[in-house]
Amino acid sequence: MNSSKHPQLLLILFALLACGWITGCPQPPASTTGNQNGAAASGENSPTHDDLPSVTEKLAELNETVVATLADPASYGDAHEALHEVGTLLEKVQSLSQTSGLSEDTQGMINDAVKNLLVGYGQFDEQLHGSEDEFDAEALATQLDESMEILQEIVAME
């Protein structure tokens, strides 16, 4: 609806949020077990497929988790882990979209959807970090669902 925001501002916001996710949050729970990378170290048959459709699919699953917690303020905290994961996935989607031979138009649409998601997740993460900014959970849930749907449609067309 309000697609007339300044692109530069969004880029700055993008940078700030990515930075905030790294520096402003407690370390991700997954890294406390000490066995990361241990099982998947055997090279070419790595179980992680970093192609655009599968990363987008994973992102959609996390988005569902995040959006579900928005229905009840008591469950907001359950989204925190997912929120930090989506940051990584969004970066992957963006870099994959630039190396997958997509048209500039398609790349642009993916970029827009990624930015919308990033801004939305960023708002939510700030809430979880005690921000006193106005927070409309219902509007945010709608925004995230719509942006995710657009992203999925673009990826499915390729």
- Site for Zn ion, residues 98 to 127, rule: CB under 5 A: 125
Min dist. Cβ of residue 38 to Zn ion (A): 26
Task: Give the count of alpha carbons within 13 A of 46, CB side only.
Answer: 10
Size of the site for Zn ion (CB under 5 A): 2
85 binds Zn ion (CB under 5 A): no
Cβ distance to Zn ion smaller for residue 85 or 125: 125
Measured at the CA of 98, the angle between CA 14 and CA 144, to 5 degrees, comes to 45
Min dist. Cβ of residue 20 to Zn ion (A): 8
- Close Cβ partners of 117 (under 8 Å, ≥ 6 residues apart): 59, 63, 86, 90, 144, 147, 148, 151
Query: In this chain, which residue has its C-beta nearest to Zn ion?
Result: 25
DSSP string, 95-131: HHHHHTT--HHHHHHHHHHHHHHHHHHHHHHHHHTT-
- Site for Zn ion, residues 13 to 32, rule: CB under 5 A: 25
Cβ distance to Zn ion smaller for residue 17 or 96: 17
Min dist. Cβ of residue 135 to Zn ion (A): 14
Q: Which residues bind Zn ion (CB under 5 A)?
A: 25, 125
